[in-house]
Homo-oligomer: A and B are copies of this chain.
Amino acid sequence: MAGTDRSKEPVLGGPVVVLVEPQLGENIGTSARAMLNGGLTELRLVRPRDGWPNAKATAAAAGADAVIEGARLFDSTAAAIADCRRVYATTARRRDMIKPVLSPARAASEIHAASTADKRCAVLFGPERRGLTNDDVALSDAAIEVDLNPAFRSLNLAQAVLLVSYEWYRASRSVTHFALPIGTTRPATKAELLGFFEHLEGELDRCGFLQVKEKRPTMVRNIRNMFQRANLTEQEVRTLRGIVTGLSVHGPAALAKQESGDLPE
């Protein structure tokens, strides 16, 4: 799903992402791309297996070039996190350690609350397959564990980075969970909607659709509720009135044909 709007600024103040002994350059590139999706820009690498810089990393970054170009290289995990105040270790399995285990959402919310210019946070990711060593986990304040299907938990490096950066982005701003974009038109006023209802019901009375007197109030309420739920715009109300007008000229004749078993032409 590509949908980049380059006119907007990235989010600032996110955690440093530390990849410890990453093996494949491709995975460093796709991780950089995953980071930038969530507005994370600061990448640190501890002893990448194939050296640095790595052309495959740049190729796989697919546009997240600035993250790759700004990546810093370190000899040890301890050196990579030396300037950070709080460090999280991503882990897929429980270690024999007494250390808080947080969801990515909870960690992101903590990091958001804690991050300031002089209080950097970092998230550690271990090498493909093996994961972080216990010594690296012991360097961190808390572990991050993604809650996934216990019968099949299989994330690659970039996907783990994506879930952390996605949650960081969610925590760092107020996410819109629901929107109904209506373009240049505007929501219909209740007067416009009522005008449509009265128009429609008048035509339905005329054609005999509402002729059973004791059923009429319920039928009218059901029809009104149905159109209420559609959150109609002013334009759509006009369209519907056009439809009712268009149909109603031939309405009674078509209805009579249907009742006698013929389909309207």
Q: Does A37 contact B (CB under 8 A)?
A: yes
> Given contacts A34-B159, A149-B37, is CB(A91)–CB(B1) below 8 Å?
yes
> Given contacts A148-B166, A149-B37, A159-B34, is CB(A181)–CB(B1) below 8 Å?
no
Closest-by-CB residue of B relative to A163 is B166
In whole angstroms, how far apart are the Cα atoms of A47 and B91 in the complex? Answer: 38
> Given contacts A8-B150, A155-B37, is CB(A96)–CB(B183) below 8 Å?
yes
17 contacts between A and B (CB under 8 A): A1-B91, A1-B92, A2-B154, A4-B150, A4-B152, A5-B151, A33-B154, A37-B152, A37-B153, A39-B148, A98-B181, A101-B176, A101-B181, A105-B177, A147-B176, A148-B166, A148-B169
Beta-carbon contact of A36 and B1 below 8 Å: no
The prevalent SS among residues of A at the interface is loop
Choice from B129, B158, B169 contacting A147 with Cβ under 8 Å: B169
| A:131-147 near B, CB below 8 Å | 131, 146-147
- Hey, what's the 0/1 contact readout for A2-40 against B, CB within 8 Å counting as 1? 111111111100000000000000000000011011110
In whole angstroms, how far apart are the Cα atoms of A176 and B103 in the complex? Answer: 7
Q: What residues on B are CB-neighbors of A236 within 8 Å?
A: 98
Q: Does A79 contact B (CB under 8 A)?
A: no
In whole angstroms, how far apart are the Cα atoms of A101 and B150 in the complex? Answer: 31
State the interface size on chain A (CB cutoff 8 A): 66
Choice from B1, B101, B149 contacting A180 with Cβ under 8 Å: B101
Closest-by-CB residue of B relative to A174 is B147
Residue of A3, A39, A160 contacting most chain B CB atoms (<10 Å) = A3
Query: How many copies of this chain are found per oligomer?
Result: 2
Closest-by-CB residue of B relative to A132 is B1
Choice from B39, B103, B149 contacting A38 with Cβ under 8 Å: B149
Q: Does A55 contact B (CB under 8 A)?
A: no
Q: Does A162 contact B (CB under 8 A)?
A: yes
Beta-carbon contact of B1 and A90 below 8 Å: yes
Beta-carbon contact of B10 and A151 below 8 Å: yes
Q: Does A117 contact B (CB under 8 A)?
A: no
- Hey, what's the 0/1 contact readout for A76-107 against B, CB within 8 Å counting as 1? 00000000000000111110101111110110
Choice from B11, B103, B163, B180 contacting A98 with Cβ under 8 Å: B180
Choice from B103, B154, B169 contacting A4 with Cβ under 8 Å: B154
Q: Does A212 contact B (CB under 8 A)?
A: no
Beta-carbon contact of A98 and B233 below 8 Å: yes
